[in-house]
């Protein structure tokens, strides 16, 4: 194919057969990054020609998932209907287009009608398997033994079609021909036509198969690059052959087949079962099956931030060639390069996803995370005004990976201790510790200044200095008295959130119990 200078137009073309797999999100992301990097356009096309597998709600789920992760569609199917000059973007609404092209291939001798029943096809495959044939497929040799337009009189074929007998249209694959394509990720791919069977192009219900529909649509929508998963690589030579037969090879898009997402242990393709066993989601959003009512977890509902998920997915199969790990969307667009995509599969390390979430959680404003703390506190029967919730977030958000974990981590802030760490008590609770807690309590009883972290810090330091106590030796005991533990977040900010009366009560309780 000659090199062409053309506007970049890419497409993401999922099937509405259920929730969008996280691998599909990565495919959409790479398409989006490439389109934005090159000033091109991204289309969303719904490939719903397999009506037997259609699932209600799946299309709207896909659109919502893309919106959540920040992938903006320029043309295609949207929540408000089709957007762009090539509508419709649902393949089920384009059947006349596919039928026209399939019939043209028949008329030009590049495809043919076939009337074989399911039982006849099964019998053919069984015969080939018993004969130890290299492949049990409908091809240039076996088609001459089947019921199709190549073995039947033209008048008989015409009569059967006019009589409404079920039939399909199959591609007439050449017997001895080399099919080549230069994949951006894989390099040159060469396949002999004898390895390509006579695929069905148009099914008996009048709808196309994926192979015909995606080639016709990519041509008519002027798609410049097809960026899709590795599982479609075996079909690519067939698609090249279709472009050739349809007369569109000169404007055929460039292909880039992305590496697989692998199980966490790195062995085999990532599946929902792997996610269930590993205790993590495999879909971007929570999904409720409309038939069974089964609920599948989603990254959004599990507390992952969209920018963290995007950053994580971007590095599963692509590397910028630098040590940088944190990329906002604009930075990803600037750095992205199709030629830096790996050939080998990428291990799905959910712990790395958690780490990314932690990094982006730290960047979120405290006020944005505070409502989650308020909701959990209210559910626990606690009073937690916005300013207190924000202070809790500020205290703890660098210690957690998810917003949902902030309130549980704040247990010692909301609840005075009933028990005390025995190891810390044995090692640190001594006369100096008891004296320090006592004088600090007394100082708080007469203190009428602002009860803020900095002021508390100075009050404690001045009180201990006046009492001749070294602060470094009693701080773990002071924390023990206030929280029941020897470790935890910033103690001064913790006391600010507890409030003066709360701190005094805890110190008095510790003096009585310890």
Structure tokens at 488: 């935890």
272 is in an annotated binding site: yes
Distance CA 218, CA 225 (A): 9
Name the helix (H) or strand (E) containing 120. Answer: helix 118-130
Q: Among all residues, which ones are annotated catalytic?
A: 272
Largest CA distance in the chain: 112
Q: E strands along 124-272, which residues?
A: 168-171, 178-183, 187-192, 200-202, 225-229, 254-258, 261-262
Name the helix (H) or strand (E) containing 83. Answer: strand 81-83
Cis preceding-peptide flag for 88 (omega within 30 of 0): yes
Structure tokens at 336: 């992205």
Instruction: Please report where in the chains the tokens 């039982």 appear, as a residue.
Output: 119
The crossing angle, in degrees rounded to 10, of helices 471-483 and 500-513 is: 100
Residue 187 in 3-state DSSP? strand
Distance CA 328, CA 339 (A): 20
- On the CB side of 188, how many CA atoms lie within 13 Å of its CA? 5
> 35 with 10: CB under 8 angstroms?
yes
In angstroms, the Cα distances linking 469 to 125, 432, 481, 493, 513 are: 89, 7, 17, 22, 22
Closest CA to 253 of 503, 4, 506: 4
Classify residue 193 by its DSSP letter.
G
> 407 with 374: CB under 8 angstroms?
no
425 exposed, middle or buried (CB, 10 Å; 0-12, 13-18, 19+)?
buried
Structure tokens at 31: 């398409």
Name the helix (H) or strand (E) containing 220. Answer: helix 210-220
Identify any residues that bridge with 225 across adjacent strands, giving them in sequence order: 254
Query: Is beta strand 9-12 parallel, antiparallel or unpaired with respect to 346-347?
Result: unpaired
- What separation, in Å, do the N-terminal and C-terminal C-alpha atoms of the chain show? 83
Distance CA 490, CA 495 (A): 9
Q: What is the Cα 186 distance to its own chain's centre? A: 23
Closest CA to 319 of 339, 303, 299, 348: 339
Annotated binding site: 272
Annotated binding site for ATP: 272
């Amino acid at each position: 194919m000659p090199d062409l200078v053309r506007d970049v137009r890419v497409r993401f073309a999922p099937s509405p057969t259920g929730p969008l797999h996280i691998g599909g999100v990565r495919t959409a992301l790479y398409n989006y990054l490439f389109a934005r990097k090159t000033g091109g356009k991204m289309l969303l096309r719904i490939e719903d020609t397999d009506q037997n597998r259609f699932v209600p709600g799946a299309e709207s789920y896909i659109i919502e998932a893309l919106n959540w992760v920040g992938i903006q569609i320029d043309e295609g199917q949207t929540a408000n209907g089709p957007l762009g000059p090539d509508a419709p973007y649902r393949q089920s609404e384009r059947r006349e287009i596919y039928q026209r092209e399939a019939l043209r291939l028949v008329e030009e001798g590049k495809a043919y009608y076939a009337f074989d029943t399911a039982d006849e096809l099964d019998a053919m495959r069984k015969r080939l398997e018993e004969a130890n044939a290299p492949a049990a497929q409908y091809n240039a040799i076996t088609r001459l033994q089947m019921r199709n337009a190549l073995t039947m009189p033209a008048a008989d074929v015409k009569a059967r079609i006019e009589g409404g007998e079920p039939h399909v249209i199959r591609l007439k694959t050449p017997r001895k021909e080399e099919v080549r394509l230069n994949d951006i990720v894989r390099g040159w791919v060469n396949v002999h036509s004898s390895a390509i069977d006579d695929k069905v192009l148009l099914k008996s219900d009048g709808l196309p198969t994926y192979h015909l529909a995606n080639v016709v649509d990519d041509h008519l929508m002027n798609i410049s690059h097809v960026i899709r998963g590795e599982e479609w690589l075996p079909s690519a030579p067939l698609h090249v052959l279709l472009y050739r037969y349809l007369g569109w090879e000169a404007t055929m898009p460039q292909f880039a087949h992305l590496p697989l997402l692998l199980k966490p242990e790195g062995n085999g393709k990532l599946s929902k079962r792997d996610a269930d066993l590993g205790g993590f989601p495999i879909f971007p959003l929570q999904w409720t099956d409309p038939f069974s009512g089964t609920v599948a977890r989603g990254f959004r509902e599990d507390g992952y931030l969209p920018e963290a998920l995007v950053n994580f997915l971007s590095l599963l199969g692509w590397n910028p060639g630098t040590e940088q790990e944190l990329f906002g969307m604009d930075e990803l667009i600037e750095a992205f390069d199709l030629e830096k995509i790996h050939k080998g599969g990428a291990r799905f390390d959910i712990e790395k996803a958690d780490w990314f979430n932690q990094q982006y959680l730290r960047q979120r404003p405290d006020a944005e995370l505070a409502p989650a703390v308020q909701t959990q506190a209210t559910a626990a029967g606690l009073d937690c005004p916005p300013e207190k919730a924000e202070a809790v977030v500020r205290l703890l958000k660098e210690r957690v990976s998810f917003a949902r974990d902030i309130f549980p981590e704040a247990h010692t802030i909301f609840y005075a201790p009933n028990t005390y760490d025995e190891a810390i008590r044995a090692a640190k609770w001594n006369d100096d510790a008891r004296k320090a807690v006592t004088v600090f309590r007394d100082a708080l009883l007469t203190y009428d200044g602002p009860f803020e972290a900095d002021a508390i810090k100075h009050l404690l330091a001045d009180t201990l200095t006046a009492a001749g106590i070294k602060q470094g030796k009693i701080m773990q005991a002071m924390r023990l008295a206030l929280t029941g533990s020897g470790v935890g977040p910033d103690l001064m900010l913790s006391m600010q959130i507890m409030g003066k009366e709360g701190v005094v009560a805890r110190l008095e309780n510790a003096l009585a119990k310890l």
